[in-house]
Structure 1
Amino acid sequence: MKQSPSSISSPNSTAALICAIILLILLRPATALVRLHGSSFSFTFIDAPARFAVPVDGFGACGSLYVANTLDACSALRTNFSADRVGTTTGVRFVLIERGGGSFDRKVRVAQDAGFQAAIIFDDQDMGYLYSMIGNPSGIHIHATFVSKMAGETLQKYAEGEGECCIGPPIEENAGTVLVISFVSVVIIISAIAAFLFARNCWILRNGGRRKPPRMDREEVEILTCFIFKRAYLTTKHITETCAICLEDYQDGERLRLLPCLHEFHSACVDSWLTKWGTFCPICKYDMNSSR
């Protein structure tokens, strides 16, 4: 039986939609904020904290930002902290590193060995998205985070000036955000289910009548000829000895019904047949509708 495309694809589409929503929620990288502000400028960037580094607590961390003298930090860094600015919140020393070659955890270890308390690694390509850095956490006890190429170039421009660099803790989903995500997800799921049910019901209504066998009304059956069987009728031309529906022999006094095709049956047997299973004679397939 050929099925409607809507009845086939809708359940799969709904399941795929639900999986996509779940994956988007689960795989969305944790985000924090990198702020750079001074007397005449202020910038805020979205970042993705490294999975293997020490997370920033709820108070965040602020301090001086330096640019790595070997920008990709693939070799040991030279440091000169004699010019540290005063007035920073925690005195944390940040180092700005380009992604380049080498693993993320190695770059962070190089920064840690040079005396920095936090590493900001910026992408060397315009990817349009951020992802959390992964690596071996063994022996790493400083903060590390990843930012876009644009953010890195801006930080590089204003590093080692009079500005202060801060990184905040991962942004927790507040009640409003959770409510919005939940509401949108529920609306999408309900809409997909409703579309599937609507398409299925339309298909059933459109095709249901084709599969439903035609039947006769009780009133139409009652007007067909009936008679009481007697053995003497067996000598006539059109009377048989057995009901072709129940396969029981006729007994004197039983009520038989005669169809227009001159085939007779137990009245109860043929009445049930015509009102439930079809409008044709069980023997010759004569259609009762043709005689109306």
Structure 2
Amino acid sequence: MMNCSSKYSPLENLRLVLAVSSLFLFARSAALVNLRGKSFSFTFLDAPARFALKAGSGICGSLQLADPIEACSPLRNDNETGGGSSRFVLIARGDCSFEKKVRIAQDIGFEAAIIYDDQEKSSLYSMIGDSTGIHMHAVFVSKMAGETLKKFARGEEGECCIGSSMDETAGTVLVISFVSLVVIISVLAAFLFARNCRLLRHAARHSRPTTMNRQSVELLPCFTFKSAYVNSKRTADTCAICLEDYKDGERLRVLPCLHEFHSICVDSWLTKWGTFCPVCKHEMNSGE
């Protein structure tokens, strides 16, 4: 922050989200640039250069316009510091690299460079370059911010300060962390959902049939009930499905577990409700 008071798998997607979140989190460090005046105060977003010094606890100085404004050739600005005050220079983007602009500003004694965009864009990006030999601060701001600074800069001692903004940094970290958490949870949920779907499809393909077909049921043995059978060890006197007593002449069907039922009752059970005995839950063999 610049203030101028003044086709992948779910796991690969998760790794990508973490990597992008990390780049987003550390690519930009919030900074506060204060331009003090009698009747104005401005706040702008900035992107500190990756090859320059960090703002640290802060630095203050006077803000001057680069001459020439794009700083692609040696500057004609006065190189006198005057009273030991630090000097900041405002530079327009264009014609040469960020690194060259910063080095030219540093050669004449400036301690910080504020480079503003020459195009209207919705986002900023960190300036890159070789950090060897560079010992000054540098930040990048929007075209609107640069034009405003250009209008209100007075070149007065200590009027502009660049420093860390702990509140902005904490807020940025909090927002990015929350968004990252939501995305990670979404990816994990999608992964678990896809996994469960695969397991259900696999189970459906390999599970045993939930009912028996009519032909398989007809293969089970049957007999005609007589009241004399009630005294035998293998025959009860009541159908466990319909709870009606057996009557002489009724047709009963015997399951492999030796439990018998009305043929019409157990046939309907096996073909419509399940492949197990209603009494002992013994699973039938469909014979397929």
Report the equivalent of 2:146.
Answer: 152
Q: Structure 2 vs 1, CA of residues 165 and 195 (structure 1 numbering), >3 Å: closer, same or farther?
A: same
Q: Structure 2 vs 1, CA of residues 221 and 151 (structure 1 numbering), >3 Å: closer, same or farther?
A: same
Percent identical across equivalent pairs? 53
TM-aligned CA deviation for residue 201 of structure 1: 3.4
Report the equivalent of 1:109.
Answer: 103
Report the equivalent of 1:65.
Answer: 63
Report the equivalent of 2:234.
Answer: none
**Contact 2:79 2:109 (8 Å CA) reproduced:** no
Of 13, 23, 26, the residue aligned with 2:23 is 26
**1:132-171 CA distances to partner (integer Å, 9 max, x unpaired)?**
2122222222221111111111111112266921111375
Q: What runs of 5+ residues in structure 1 fail to find an aligned partner?
A: 1-8, 226-256, 258-273, 281-286, 288-292
**Contact 1:47 1:145 (8 Å CA) reproduced:** yes
Counterparts of 2:138 and 2:108 in 1: how far apart (Å)?
14
Counterparts of 2:177 and 2:154 in 1: how far apart (Å)?
44
Q: Structure 2 vs 1, CA of residues 54 and 203 (structure 1 numbering), >3 Å: closer, same or farther?
A: closer
Give the letter aligned to residue 43 of structure 1: F
**1:203-260 CA distances to partner (integer Å, 9 max, x unpaired)?**
654774454233889xx899648xxxxxxxxxxxxxxxxxxxxxxxxxxxxxxx9xxx
Give the letter aligned to residue 213 of structure 1: R
Residue 47 (structure 1) aligned with residue 41 (structure 2): no
Q: Structure 2 vs 1, CA of residues 222 and 184 (structure 1 numbering), >3 Å: closer, same or farther?
A: farther
**Contact 2:10 2:191 (8 Å CA) reproduced:** no
**1:94-135 CA distances to partner (integer Å, 9 max, x unpaired)?**
111111111212111211222211111111112221222122
TM-aligned CA deviation for residue 25 of structure 1: 2.6
Report the equivalent of 1:74.
Answer: 72
SS at match of 2:164: coil
Q: Give TM-score scaled by structure 1 length.
A: 0.60
Report the equivalent of 2:13.
Answer: 16
Counterparts of 2:198 and 2:29 in 1: how far apart (Å)?
45
Q: Structure 2 vs 1, CA of residues 71 and 199 (structure 1 numbering), >3 Å: closer, same or farther?
A: same
Q: Structure 2 vs 1, CA of residues 189 and 38 (structure 1 numbering), >3 Å: closer, same or farther?
A: same
Give the letter aligned to residue 12 of structure 1: S
Report the equivalent of 2:125.
Answer: 131
Q: Structure 2 vs 1, CA of residues 99 and 177 (structure 1 numbering), >3 Å: closer, same or farther?
A: closer
Residue 119 (structure 1) aligned with residue 113 (structure 2): yes
**Contact 1:68 1:97 (8 Å CA) reproduced:** yes
Give the letter aligned to residue 22 of structure 2: I
Residue 94 (structure 1) aligned with residue 88 (structure 2): yes
Residue 213 (structure 1) aligned with residue 208 (structure 2): yes
**Contact 1:215 1:275 (8 Å CA) reproduced:** no
Q: Which moved more, 1:192-201 or 1:40-49?
A: 192-201
TM-aligned CA deviation for residue 77 of structure 1: 1.1
Q: Give TM-score scaled by structure 2 length.
A: 0.61
Give the letter aligned to residue 109 of structure 1: R
CA RMSD of aligned residues (A): 3.8
Counterparts of 2:90 and 2:200 in 1: how far apart (Å)?
66
Matched pairs, number = 217
**Contact 1:216 1:275 (8 Å CA) reproduced:** no
Give the letter aligned to residue 39 of structure 1: K
Instruction: Report matched runs for 1:249-264 at 5 Å.
Output: none
TM-aligned CA deviation for residue 39 of structure 1: 0.9
Counterparts of 1:177 and 1:130 in 2: how far apart (Å)?
15
**Contact 1:35 1:45 (8 Å CA) reproduced:** no
TM-aligned CA deviation for residue 175 of structure 1: 6.4
**1:3-57 CA distances to partner (integer Å, 9 max, x unpaired)?**
xxxxxx8x82463254134313324323322222311000122222222222222
SS at match of 2:184: helix
**Contact 1:68 1:95 (8 Å CA) reproduced:** yes
SS at match of 2:9: helix
